[in-house]
Amino acid sequence: MFDALLEGIVNLGSIHSLLLLAAGSVVGLLFGAIPGLGGTTAVALLIPLTFGMEPWQAIILMGGVMAATSTGGSVSAILLNTPGIAPNAATTFDGYPLAQQGKAGMAIGAAATASALGGVIGVVSLVAVIPIMKAIVLLFTPPEFFMLAIFGMCAIAVSSGDRLLQGLITAIIGLMVGFVGYYDVTSTVRFDFGIPLLEDGIKLVPALIGLFAISEMINLAVKGGSISQDTSDVEISGVSAGVKEVFKNWSTMLVGSGYGTFIGAVPGVGGTVAAFLSYSTQAQRDPTPEIEYGKGNIKGVIAPESANNAKDGGSLIPTLAFGIPGSAETAVFLGVLILHGIEPGQKLLEDHQDLVFTLVVALTVSAVFATLIVLALAKYMALLTRISVHMLIPTVTVVALVGAFALNTEIGDVVIAFIFAFIGYFMIRFNYPRVTFTIAIVLGSITELSFHQSMLIADDQMSIFFTRGLSLTLLALTILSLAFPTFRRKMKERKEAKLEAEQ
């Protein structure tokens, strides 16, 4: 294994390889930052370029792209309230409020640093778990998926804050939206009203583009001004402060990276869920924060960003163990390997260990490289929040709509984005949380599918959820995470009451 790792480093050692990697990182950053495009599109578009390359060169280019997309996506999540790719959705919750407070530089600094560290931790974990990777992938079966999704749903309670009723209402609407379209268990199309566009369900990216980006532009148009409400003399940079915040909150970053690696290893769950879980766990671990979550707490940026980057390493675990892609990007990446005459699966690790480690090294270097680029440009990017609405609104709206269209070159997706833009605007206007709506859309379908499958496996016996070790552990964690904030608050109140009494 050590020889293969060395070969990976040697492969990346030439100027040509480094240029390839840099090109991949830049493409990844751009495709990540422009809503709707994403890493899968970037990798697919670059495929023809790799035809004339050696397999390891193609791997370096693709590794560069894959490690950089979610870092790029965090920038648009923070500056424009639009997740560049779906796994950046959780970053908007605290990232955008920070931008509104004139702290965009700090948020970008923290997001980029958390991305790099998360990415590196994910890849290191991948290498560390290679001997036991099969066991990790096999740990999760439908009952565990269900419990994991329920655990994630707790985020609804946390993110609602003092608007629990509104939070629950939007969550229910989110669940209903998630039910639209083709359902894999029954192979039936539900709630499509005969409209072909709805047959595949409401796609997450156009919905998020509408819900967050365009709705925010409508809101800005009504309000006027600029994104940052603080346009006075505050120094816009703060990038280094953001970097320091990550090291100060190292446990948040570590937990996030752990979620990313672990969830990345489970095919079918993905970076979006990892980021949400990491976010909600952070909010639950910290029930009495200095700054409320959802209102610009920097830990709310670090948690999801470390998770969605660590996922890249994690999602290679099922790829190496069984030849099964752990994410959409790895699926395309496997396609690239096949095009180059390399059959993925068990043979990959047996016959092409050097290529595997070339990818590992490329992912690590690219994660750091992408972060350095973002950190270098953060100061200038943050200026975007000070641009007048007259310039910002048309530009962002056009980019967002093109993004919605580009995903599948489907004009219907633009319509979806518009519909969700108005839903989003009314949510802002009447103070209904958009976060809970998003969580429900993302987790609703996994919850339903895994529940249905569990029932099929266990012949409708609910006991399947309570007789398996991991499933039971996840249930216990769910109960604990719901009870913990209340318990901690009560303890604090009691302590304060005691102190007051003593005085």
Partner 1 sequence: MFSKIITGAVALSAVAMVAAVPAQAQEFPPKNITFLISYGPGGGFDTITRKLAPYLKKYLGGKVNIVPKNLPGGRGKKAAAFLAKRKADGSHIMMFNMPGHAMPNIIGEKAGYDVRKIDWLGRVAQFRYIIVVSAKKSKYQTIQDVLKAKSQIKIPITGPGTTGYLASAILWNALGVKPKYITGYKSSSRYSLGVIRGDGDLTILAKGSFKKYVSSKKKKRAAFKDLKPILEITNGKSEFGVPTTGEMGHKDLAILGGDRIIGTTPGTPKAIKDRLAKAVWDSVNDPEFVAWGKKVGRPVAPLNAADATQLVGKLFSYYVQYKDVLAASNKKTR
Residues that bind partner 1 (CB under 8 A): 40-41, 43-44, 47-48, 51, 134, 137-138, 141-142, 182-193, 196, 199-200, 267-268, 318, 322-325, 328, 330-335, 338-339, 341-347, 350-351, 408-410, 449, 452-453, 456-457
Q: Is the dihedral of CA 492, 495, 500, 501 positive or negative?
A: positive
- Give me the least distance between CB of 308 and partner 1, in Å please: 19
Which has the closest alpha carbon to 428: 276, 222, 152? 222
- Give me the least distance between CB of 341 and partner 1, in Å please: 5
Residue 186 or 232 having the CB closest to partner 1: 186
185 and 452 Cβ atoms separated by less than 8 Å: yes
In the structure encoding, which two tokens stand for residue 387, read together?
Answer: 């641009």
Alpha-carbon distance of 265 to 136, in angstroms, equals 7
Q: Write down the residue that tokens 């590992």 correspond to.
A: 360
- Give me the least distance between CB of 364 and partner 1, in Å please: 23
Residue 161 or 345 having the CB closest to partner 1: 345
Q: Write down the residue that tokens 């318990």 correspond to.
A: 487
Alpha-carbon distance of 311 to 87, in angstroms, equals 10
In the structure encoding, which two tokens stand for residue 96, read together?
Answer: 């955008």
- Give me the least distance between CB of 51 and partner 1, in Å please: 7
- Give me the least distance between CB of 310 and partner 1, in Å please: 21
- Give me the least distance between CB of 21 and partner 1, in Å please: 21
The Cβ of residue 134 has, within 10 Å, a number of other Cβ atoms equal to 16
Residue 197 or 221 having the CB closest to partner 1: 197
Residue 231 or 453 having the CB closest to partner 1: 453
Alpha-carbon distance of 43 to 173, in angstroms, equals 34
Residue 186 or 463 having the CB closest to partner 1: 186
* H/E segment holding residue 437: helix 434-457
Residue 160 or 319 having the CB closest to partner 1: 319
Q: What value, to the nearest 5°, has the Cα angle with vertex 249 and ends 267 and 371?
A: 65
Q: Write down the residue that tokens 């997309």 correspond to.
A: 69
272 and 89 Cβ atoms separated by less than 8 Å: yes
The contacts of residue 239 (CB under 8 Å, 6+ apart) are 105, 106, 108, 109, 375, 378, 379, 382
Residue 235 or 459 having the CB closest to partner 1: 459
- Give me the least distance between CB of 127 and partner 1, in Å please: 21
Residue 134 or 386 having the CB closest to partner 1: 134
Q: Write down the residue that tokens 């830990």 correspond to.
A: 299
Residue 184 or 493 having the CB closest to partner 1: 184
The contacts of residue 350 (CB under 8 Å, 6+ apart) are none
- Give me the least distance between CB of 343 and partner 1, in Å please: 5
41 and 84 Cβ atoms separated by less than 8 Å: no
Residue 30 or 373 having the CB closest to partner 1: 30
Which has the closest alpha carbon to 263: 309, 315, 226? 315
Which has the closest alpha carbon to 297: 251, 256, 242? 242
- Give me the least distance between CB of 305 and partner 1, in Å please: 25
99 and 108 Cβ atoms separated by less than 8 Å: no
Distances (CA, A) of 247 to 253, 296, 308, 326, 368: 8, 18, 18, 29, 16
- Give me the least distance between CB of 339 and partner 1, in Å please: 5
Alpha-carbon distance of 370 to 26, in angstroms, equals 7
- Give me the least distance between CB of 419 and partner 1, in Å please: 18
Residue 139 or 398 having the CB closest to partner 1: 139
Which has the closest alpha carbon to 104: 112, 92, 96? 96
Alpha-carbon distance of 262 to 266, in angstroms, equals 7
- Give me the least distance between CB of 360 and partner 1, in Å please: 20
Residue 140 or 432 having the CB closest to partner 1: 140
The Cβ of residue 235 has, within 10 Å, a number of other Cβ atoms equal to 9
